[in-house]
Amino acid sequence: MRKEQRNKGWNEIKTNDSWAIFKIMGEFVNGFERMSKIGPCVSIFGSARTKPDDEYYLLTEKVAKKIVEAGYGVITGGGPGIMEAGNKGAHLGGGTSVGLNIDLPFEQHDNPYIDSDKSLDFDYFFVRKVMFVKYSQGFVVMPGGFGTLDELFEAMTLIQTQKIEKFPIILVGTIFWQGLMDWVTSTLLEKNGNVSTKDMDLIHVVDTEDEVLSILDAFYKESGLSPNF
């Protein structure tokens, strides 16, 4: 009897997995169709737990405002904290403000600064990350936790393996990021050779909104690259 119950349960799991394919396809189709109409944007990542009076929240507002004033749009994860600050700065600057929301058991709820026609909802992290990467002209990474690090290293890996075109990755907050970058340089690069100097070329650590914009503009002017779409 137990074996029959286990087999029945396993068959139900396999059936659910098969039907999930259609939901995943639907998220991809909806995301591609809507994002392809928006235009060149810069993704801003960071902690959902950052409070509105935090220095990095306020700095993110300035960064996002500067980005949209230069003609780019802003994409965030659509939630609170740094994501809210990014959408708020884009909104205040009169630019495109995109939110890619994810259904989570805590923290995530969409913020009020996303353009009403540019708020997308996802159930799958991997689909959402595809949208971030495919439709971004650059990554601005503010201080954050595991999710922020996941997005950062995903982008670095895809560029390293030439699965996507190169674009600048800008870490904002020297005090926060320098320890990580020192470890990457001393341990991964110099000691073990797990990465190359070339892999590090597109990573920048800065502290101001002017530095962020300078790196974005310099990259696209010097490389002669056009937007991804």
Domain ranges of the chain: 2-223
Place of tokens 């991804």: 228
The predicted model gives 62-88 an average pLDDT of 96
Amino acid at 51: K
**Is residue 200 within 8 Å of residue 184, measured between CB atoms?**
yes
How do residues 76-105 score in pLDDT, each as one tens digit? 999 999 999 999 999 999 999 999 998 766
**pLDDT confidence of residue 144:** 97
CATH of 2-223, one of 2.40.30.10, 3.30.1330.90, 3.30.70.20, 3.40.50.450: 3.40.50.450
Q: Global pTM?
A: 0.87
How do residues 147-184 score in pLDDT, each as one tens digit? 999 999 999 999 888 888 888 999 999 999 999 999 99
Q: Compute CA distances 225 → 41, 44, 174, 217, whole Å.
A: 14, 21, 28, 11
Q: Evaluate if residue 129 carries a pLDDT over 70.
A: yes
Higher per-residue confidence, 208 vs 125? 208
Q: Evaluate if residue 225 carries a pLDDT over 70.
A: no
